[in-house]
Amino acid sequence: MVRMDPDLAALKLPPHSIESEQSLLGGLLLDNAAWDRVADLVAESDFYRDDHRRVFRHIARLIELGKPADAVTVFASLERSGEAEEAGGLAYIGEMAANTPSAANIRRYAEIIRERAILRRLVTVGDEIAASALKPSGKDAKILLDEAEARVFEIAEAGARNAGGFVPIQPLLGQVVDRIQELYDRDSPSEITGVPTGLVDLDAKTSGLQPTDMIVVAGRPGMGKTTLALNIAE
């Protein structure tokens, strides 16, 4: 009988950081105010372990309701929903809080958790792309490439989401007012205010590609999306 090398088996585990997950949950249990520093970055689905996902969900629910979220109240919330045992029980929840010195580095823990979640998604999509290539089901290579590109792009967009965190509203208001004034002072309503695409009719409608725009080039495979994007880039 062939025995699997433990080190080799460990290499096959999806990317994760149990320590970061425990430290983030412990930090939130110690300091509910730290929620504002991680709420924009990490979600329940980013956690690798199911028990951690459950604990995070109940912490988030209590904080969003304006209620205290400590080891006891979170355990009580889990008990009411019948999830206490699956979440590790009061002893494990209390242990996470006790083993976390403070919430000082909680933002970094959230970044690590988010990064590992993106890597896991990349592994999954990579496997799906490989499976599609091995069994194309009648699709030609161009269609498979377009589908693979779309899947990887989705991961890239998800990874970039909220990477900068929350920002104060006052500087944003100043930027909005300046932008409105800039548009008001321009000589002609058709003047290009963003990045020109080189397509005259499109630029006349949009005034160019604006910094705050999310540009989506949509279409069926083989309709020229990549060619259009390359023409605009040139």
Asked, for residue 1, whether it belongs to a domain, the answer is no
Does residue 211 sit in the same domain as residue 233? yes
Asked, for residue 63, whether it belongs to a domain, the answer is yes
Asked, for residue 147, whether it belongs to a domain, the answer is yes
Domain finish residue from 84, 106, 128: 106
Does residue 100 sit in the same domain as residue 120? no
CATH (domain of 92): 1.10.860.10
Does residue 91 sit in the same domain as residue 144? no
Domain finish residue from 86, 106, 126: 106
Does residue 127 sit in the same domain as residue 62? no
| Count: domains in the chain | 3
Q: Show the 3-state SS of the chain.
A: CCCCCHHHHHHCCCCCCHHHHHHHHHHHHHCHHHHHHCCCCCCHHHCCCHHHHHHHHHHHHHHHCCCCCCHHHHHHHHHHCCCCCCCCHHHHHHHHHHCCCCCCCHHHHHHHHHHHHHHHHHHHHHHHHHHHHHCCCCCCHHHHHHHHHHHHHHHHHHHHCCCCCCCCHHHHHHHHHHHHHHHHHCCCCCCCCCECCCCHHHHHHHCCECCCCCCCCCCCCCCCHHHHHHHHHC
Asked, for residue 182, whether it belongs to a domain, the answer is no
Tell me the CA end-to-end span of the chain in Å, nearest whole number: 60
Does residue 94 sit in the same domain as residue 39? yes
pTM of the model: 0.64
The answer to whether the CB of 74 falls within 8 A of the CB of 57 is: no
Does residue 18 sit in the same domain as residue 98? yes
Asked, for residue 170, whether it belongs to a domain, the answer is no
> Among all chains, which residue has been given the structure tokens 């991961």?
155
Angstrom distance (rounded) from CA 49 to CA 55: 10
Q: What is the crossing angle of helices 89-98 and 50-64, to 10°?
A: 80
Give the residue numbers spanning the domain of 133: 115-160
Does residue 102 sit in the same domain as residue 25? yes
Domain finish residue from 106, 126, 148: 106
Does residue 120 sit in the same domain as residue 92? no
Asked, for residue 187, whether it belongs to a domain, the answer is no
Does residue 147 sit in the same domain as residue 91? no
Does residue 100 sit in the same domain as residue 144? no
Does residue 97 sit in the same domain as residue 131? no
Angstrom distance (rounded) from CA 171 to CA 179: 12
Asked, for residue 203, whether it belongs to a domain, the answer is yes
CA-nearest of 61, 130, 51 to 93 is 51
Asked, for residue 165, whether it belongs to a domain, the answer is no
Strands in the chain per DSSP E:
none
Over its length of 234 residues, how does the chain's per-residue pLDDT go in tens digits? 446 566 555 567 889 999 999 999 999 999 999 999 999 899 999 999 999 999 999 999 999 999 999 999 999 999 999 999 999 999 999 999 999 999 999 999 999 999 999 999 999 999 989 998 999 888 889 888 988 888 888 887 776 655 555 566 777 777 778 777 777 776 666 677 778 888 888 877 777 887 777 788 888 888 888 888 888 877
Does residue 37 sit in the same domain as residue 120? no
Angstrom distance (rounded) from CA 65 to CA 79: 18
